[in-house]
Structure 1
Amino acid sequence: MKKVLSGMRPTGKLHLGHYLGVIKNWLELQEKHDCKFFIADWHALTNKYKQTDDLKENIKQMIIDWLSCGIDPEKATLFIQSGVKEHAELSLLFSMITPKSWLELNPSYKDLKFNLYYQYLRDFLAGKQVKIIQTPPSEDFDQAVERASGKVRNKIFEEYLREAFFRAFYNKKGIDFKGLKETLIKLGIQKKIVEEAVKNLEEGDVGKDIDTLGFLAYPVLQAADILIYKAEAVPVGEDQLPHIELTREIARRFNNLYDSIFPEPEAMLTEESKLPGIDGRKMSKSYNNAIYLSDDQQTVNKKVLEMKTDPQRVRRNDPGNPEVCIVYDYHRIFTDKDTVKDIDKKCRNAEIGCVDCKKILAQNLNRFLDPIRERRKEIEKDLPTYEKIFQEGTEKAKAIASETMTEVRKAMRLWEF
């Protein structure tokens, strides 16, 4: 049995992507290990410090979602990060010994900052859907733009924006804003949308909320979150591996400077959810394309009927290709194997229509969500009682963190009060 720690930022109600990417794994871990799961409300401020109006409500919704899914306070310690002030104290002390270069060169930090800049403009231009196609390496940008036609846009769009952001924010050479405008308009994006988006980029409004000390140093706070409980393992996706390595470096540096207090935690690699949103993009609240764990049956039915299917299948008697159908991606997860094989065969032979296929999926999704919904109703009837579970868990976590901080202060020869 290992000491395991993991957390989630409270950004709203959880959707199926959260369940498959995080919660499902937690349900397995709590059966085998000494787990601590926390709501990372301080981390929610790193790039959304202005948007705190919904923070408390988001925390409540996360409490309900976790418990509704079966995260068990009898098997794991559940707590809220900001209720354990020792996290902040240890983070401050760690910041004293962490070289700035470790943070600036952390590939995870660089990628996240870059992706946030990049995602902003892509989201801004989302009114013009751009389909990705492969662009031959030998083909230059102008040729590729000329080749792209109709609804088929490109990887060109993506690569051009990536290059623009790279030049602006990494090499500090600036962007040819005039050229950027002309190119995006040439790709068929509305001129008004392009001009407003590029104006924001040109004036530096894009991403300015992440040029803060909190954003730069959030891996230090993350290290404190982990090490204050002397966690031995942290479930993360592959993109988070640099953070765990940085945590190990900080632990090693502290132990060498003062005393061997902290273990060097290992990463427990988890598979990222591949479930797309109902429009084919990544499932996200911001895209308004998610199926939430709290959605009722009618809402789920409506969303499933809105799902995109094989674009080449125009008529009911056209044979389909399940491999390019979002509905089939869901069937693979929420429908039994025999039925999936049957759907695959009938779709390819035009023996089943998309609407009928979607109705089968909606039925299976609702069957999966029904127990979660029932549990949710129970919790919502007496929410203060269930909130108390997190208060008690926070006190339990605080007691452990306090013991660790006593060791830390002693090791660092700080004044005892």
Structure 2
Amino acid sequence: MFYANIRCKIITRNKVGRRFKSVITTDYKLSSKILPKETSVFSLVQPSGTMHLGNYLGALSCWGDLCRIKQHETQDLLFGLADLHAITVPQPQGKEFMKQKYDTLAYLIAFGVDPAKCKLYMQSDVREHAELAWYLSTITNISSLSRMTQWKAKSAGEKNKATDFSNSSSSLGLFSYPVLQAADVLIFKSEYVPVGEDQVQHLELTREIAEKFNKQFNCDVFKIPKVLLTPTKKIYNLKNSEKKMSKSDPRPGAVLYLSESNEDIRKKIKKATTDSITDKAFRFDPKERPGISNFINILAGIEKKSINEVEVDLENLRSHSDFKQYVGDKLIDWIEEPREKYLELSSNPDYLIQVALEGKIHAQKKAQETLRQVREVMGFSNF
């Protein structure tokens, strides 16, 4: 059982020194006190189909944890699949893309996101997202979007990408991605948004857009959301500890998928890049021992323990083979039950469709009311 609490309200900074407001960190000792009796929590994930360990531990494990600590019906948990965001880069088409989305939904439910405690939906099923994104785009500065580090990373290789768009091959959707993300959050008047650390900058922009809209139209339509930063740090791939775990990595041993067989899990861990240090205990040291530290971070995530607690568990291990055997045992023990549940769910599309439909109805009702208020203060009719 995962218990969490809010340890503190912190201020953090991005790479260019801007201050982030109201970033709340959580640890692995979460209690039900994290959620006020009446509140709204919202987050989306891109539907990548086959989900890997980095996807799950980066942010999604927190969704299941929040479901488990929910105590009141007035605590509205809304999670979903960001399929509108997904198409900013090439995706499968037609039925194949639809299957990919429902496959992701099956993973979410199997690994702890309980439809009895939250609502799950497809972003594209609620068209108010796109309409609000257009309204918000009219008050969002291009300069703010060009500073987004994810935009810079995804458009890497293009000269003068941040300021000169005349020769850019990137899509407008990829550039304006954070505006749609702001619309996603604000249309539900979300108070808490659980995300991984790579999304903090986008959520700070969301806060700025909400404040600007409320001020410009002399209203209080939008709540100013807080970032609920998940405790697990970035998960790196098993072949290169400087790169984030990603399904786009062409090396078959670089990524651990949640549907992997026990045999494949052991094989990938055994061949993973660690280091050649033999005269020191297995400690968390990202600078000197990034491969070992990545596995320690993974263990902390799946066992809901602090880094220090994991280090204590590793004290009696004396060799890299023992260490990898230990990691493999823990992963297999953790993954077996939800993996079987995923296989059951993925073969039951009618159930998944029903979950998404119930989520759509709930999300659409909330979104329509917010959009009605937005249109009213902006001077548009609500016929």
What TM-score do you get using the length of structure 1 for normalisation?
A: 0.69
Q: Provide the residue aligned with 1:240 in structure 2.
A: 199
1:303-328, CA deviations, whole angstroms, 9 ceiling, x for partnerless residues? 12212232356xxxxx5663437357
Q: Secondary structure at the match of 1:42?
A: helix
Q: How many Å separate the matches in 2 of 1:271 and 1:328?
A: 15
Question: Residues 408 and 25 of structure 1: is their aligned pair in 2 closer, same or farther, counting only changes over 3 Å?
Answer: same
Q: Provide the residue aligned with 2:231 in structure 1.
A: 271
Query: Is 2:21 the counterpart of 1:62?
Result: no
Query: Is 2:34 the counterpart of 1:22?
Result: no
Letter in 2 for 1:225: D
Q: How many Å separate the matches in 2 of 1:339 and 1:29?
A: 23
Question: Residues 245 and 343 of structure 1: is their aligned pair in 2 closer, same or farther, counting only changes over 3 Å?
Answer: closer
The answer as to whether partners of 2:40 and 2:76 remain within 8 angstroms in 1 is yes
Q: How many Å separate the matches in 2 of 1:414 and 1:339?
A: 56
Q: Which of 361, 375, 378 in structure 2 is aligned with 1:409?
A: 375
Letter in 2 for 1:20: L
Q: How many Å separate the matches in 1 of 2:331 and 2:91?
A: 36
Q: What displacement does 1:242 show?
A: 3.2
Q: How many Å separate the matches in 1 of 2:290 and 2:176?
A: 41
Q: How many Å separate the matches in 2 of 1:325 and 1:214?
A: 35
Q: What displacement does 1:50 show?
A: 6.1
Question: Residues 7 and 339 of structure 1: is their aligned pair in 2 closer, same or farther, counting only changes over 3 Å?
Answer: closer
Aligned CA-pair RMSD: 2.9
Q: How many Å separate the matches in 1 of 2:86 and 2:137?
A: 19
Q: Provide the residue aligned with 1:285 in structure 2.
A: 247
Q: Percent identity?
A: 32
Q: What displacement does 1:413 show?
A: 2.3
Query: Is 2:151 the counterpart of 1:113?
Result: yes
Q: What displacement does 1:238 show?
A: 4.0
Query: Is 2:348 the counterpart of 1:382?
Result: yes
Q: How does 1:122-201 map to 2 (within 5 A)?
A: 168-169=160-161
Q: Secondary structure at the match of 2:83?
A: coil
Q: What displacement does 1:346 show?
A: 4.3
Q: Provide the residue aligned with 1:355 in structure 2.
A: 321
Q: Provide the residue aligned with 1:260 in structure 2.
A: 220
Q: Which runs of 5+ in 1 are unaligned?
A: 121-164, 173-203, 314-318
What TM-score do you get using the length of structure 2 for normalisation?
A: 0.74
Kindly tell me the number of residue pairs found equivalent between the two proteins.
321
Q: Secondary structure at the match of 1:295?
A: coil
Q: What displacement does 1:412 show?
A: 2.1
Q: Secondary structure at the match of 2:138?
A: helix
- Whichever structure has more helix as a proportion of its residues is 1
Letter in 2 for 1:376: Y
Q: How many Å separate the matches in 2 of 1:43 and 1:261?
A: 24
Q: How many Å separate the matches in 2 of 1:342 and 1:76?
A: 34
Q: What displacement does 1:89 show?
A: 1.0
Q: Which of 360, 370, 379 in structure 2 is aligned with 1:394?
A: 360
1:120-149, CA deviations, whole angstroms, 9 ceiling, x for partnerless residues? 7xxxxxxxxxxxxxxxxxxxxxxxxxxxxx
Q: What displacement does 1:52 show?
A: 4.4
The answer as to whether partners of 2:151 and 2:175 remain within 8 angstroms in 1 is no
Question: Residues 251 and 279 of structure 1: is their aligned pair in 2 closer, same or farther, counting only changes over 3 Å?
Answer: same
Q: How many Å separate the matches in 2 of 1:237 and 1:252?
A: 23
Q: Provide the residue aligned with 2:118 in structure 1.
A: 76
